[in-house]
Amino acid sequence: MNPHRRSPLVLVTAFFVYFFLYAPIIALVVYSFNASRANVKFEGFIPSFSERVVTEGSLVKSSPCGPFHWYCDLAKNREVIEAAKNTLTIAFTATTIATIIGTMAALALQRYDFKLKPFSQLSLYIPIVIPEIVMGIGILTLFSQVFGWMNNAFSLSGDSRWTMGLGTVIVSHIAFMVPFVTLVVQARLQGFDKSYEEAAMDLGANEWITFRRVTLPMILPGVLSGALLAFTLSLDDFVITFFTNGPGSTTLPIYVYGLLRRIITPQVNALSTVWILVVLAAVLLLQIVQGRESKQHS
């Protein structure tokens, strides 16, 4: 018997794994073309193009965008655009700052010995293991306390008052991202021989040039993976954002949650589809960049 023959069990397992991974996504995409406004059952694609939107009960009969009706609908939705802008602003800002802090922390933990080092290392896991909702409430309590004191102490009122908003969301995102970045970069640093840095210094590079020309390029794949992980976590985050956002800082997950409480139209599916495409594109881009780099290195 051929020892390499696949057991039917492998095929069955594979089928279920892929089914549960991808079937919901496929359904989601298909439903974004649903003619039914109620979006409970798939009622077929929107059949035709027309000058105006024609509806019949809860069914859309024709639309200027044809089957892409809900995408056009989405593009006209100012709230969605605003939420997308917020989401990206938060993700980019928080990722940049968290990547810098996280990388610095990883380097410090690798090269220095200090008294509280075991505690520092352990404390990295705390934001990862504690329930997000606990962290969210914690951050909310902290912000409202501190803001209360500040507003009182400086007797601020009206627009100059410290309130929840983009700033608080960004800070709280940084807080939960840093440990992820640090752990990913630490994993990369494990195999990093300090003699590379010594060699650079030996050849006349000071500490900063050594970091910029040698250390950073060598650990860059780790830093990028850490940043990407942090970025996707930020795009996705609902719980912490829910507790720390305020007027003008609604993100896409928060917006979708709000929609769901009112009415679910295929617009939500259209939004999710666009979202998936964006994230997919980002991941592919990173893969290409990393692939090119590792090819250069080997």
Residues that bind another protein (CB under 8 A): 193, 195-196, 198-206, 209, 213-214, 217-218, 296-298
CB of 193 to another protein, least distance (A): 6
C-alpha span between 59 and 48 (Å, rounded): 13
Q: Which is nearer to another protein, 56 or 193 (CB)?
A: 193
CB of 206 to another protein, least distance (A): 6
CB of 200 to another protein, least distance (A): 7
User: Phi/psi of residue 32, each to 5°?
Assistant: -70, -10
C-alpha span between 19 and 27 (Å, rounded): 11
List residues bridging with 63 in a β-sheet: 49
Q: Which is nearer to another protein, 114 or 196 (CB)?
A: 196
CB of 188 to another protein, least distance (A): 13
Q: Which is nearer to another protein, 47 or 217 (CB)?
A: 217
CB of 212 to another protein, least distance (A): 12
Q: DSSP readout, 100-150?
A: HHHHHHHHHHHH---TTHHHHHHHTTHHHHS-HHHHHHHHHHHHHHHHHHH
C-alpha span between 251 and 84 (Å, rounded): 6
Name the 3-class secondary structure at 6: coil
Name the 3-class secondary structure at 62: strand
CB of 107 to another protein, least distance (A): 17
CB 265, CB 31: distance < 8 Å:
no
Q: Which is nearer to another protein, 200 or 235 (CB)?
A: 200
Residues 6 or more apart from 55 whose CB is under 8 A from it? 37, 61
CB 187, CB 218: distance < 8 Å:
no
Q: Which is nearer to another protein, 63 or 210 (CB)?
A: 210
Tokens of residue 241, six digits: 């954002």
Tokens of residue 195, six digits: 């003699």
CB of 117 to another protein, least distance (A): 13
Tokens of residue 49, six digits: 């193009």
Residue (of 26, 58, 63) closest to 43 by Cα position: 58
C-alpha span between 71 and 228 (Å, rounded): 27
CB of 298 to another protein, least distance (A): 6
